[in-house]
Structure 1
Amino acid sequence: MQASETELMLKGYGLTTAELFYRMPDYRNVLNIFVWQEYDLAPDYPRLFGFIDFWKGQIEGPLHSVRFTYRKLLSPGKWRNVVGELVLH
């Protein structure tokens, strides 16, 4: 069973977005961009590097460069359980 996005964020995962610049297989002078986004763990980024390894082994377009950003959207210290709500006029 796969964990939900909230469970991943509570375990320390953050949203990783990568732009992969690659050369077209038939036109080596043309660069194209592929955008990849997944929840991953910093600083090792196992999912990102796993995807890059997959790309190198299975995709014909050779990578030119990779640019990525990482954002932790939620951390365990920011999570709190609310048991009630009080509405004031």
Structure 2
Amino acid sequence: MSKTETELMLKGYGLTTAEFFYRMPDYLNVLNSFVWQDYDLAPDHPRLFRFIEYWQKEIEGPLHSVRFTHRKLIAPGEWRNVVGEFTLH
């Protein structure tokens, strides 16, 4: 069952962005970069580490380094349920 982005954010997920620096097997002197984004849980980052494991097993370009950041888009104090509405002329 897939969850919507809002459901994930309300459960504590935040947007994780990672930049992978890797070398091509044929050109080891050239560094390339790849940007990856997904909703993940800090501080363990299970989705990010699962992707890194996938990269190391399945992709021929060896990783040089990974730089990532995590942003919680909805914090507990930022979201509230509004019940009423009023109009102004």
Q: Calculate the TM-score normalised by the size of structure 2.
A: 0.93
* Structure with greater strand percent: 2
Deviations 1:7-30 (A, max 9, x none): 111111110000000001110001
SS of the equivalent of 1:28 reads strand
CA offsets 1:12-68 (integer angstroms, 9 cap, x no match) = 111000000000111000110000000000000000000000000000000000000
Identical-pair percentage: 78
Q: What corresponds to 2:25 in structure 1? A: 25
Q: Which runs of 5+ in 2 are unaligned?
A: none
Question: Please, which moves more after superposition, 37-46 or 77-86?
Answer: 77-86
Runs of 4 or more above 3 Å deviation: none
C-alpha RMSD of the superposition = 1.1
Native 8 Å contact 1:11 1:76 kept in 2: no
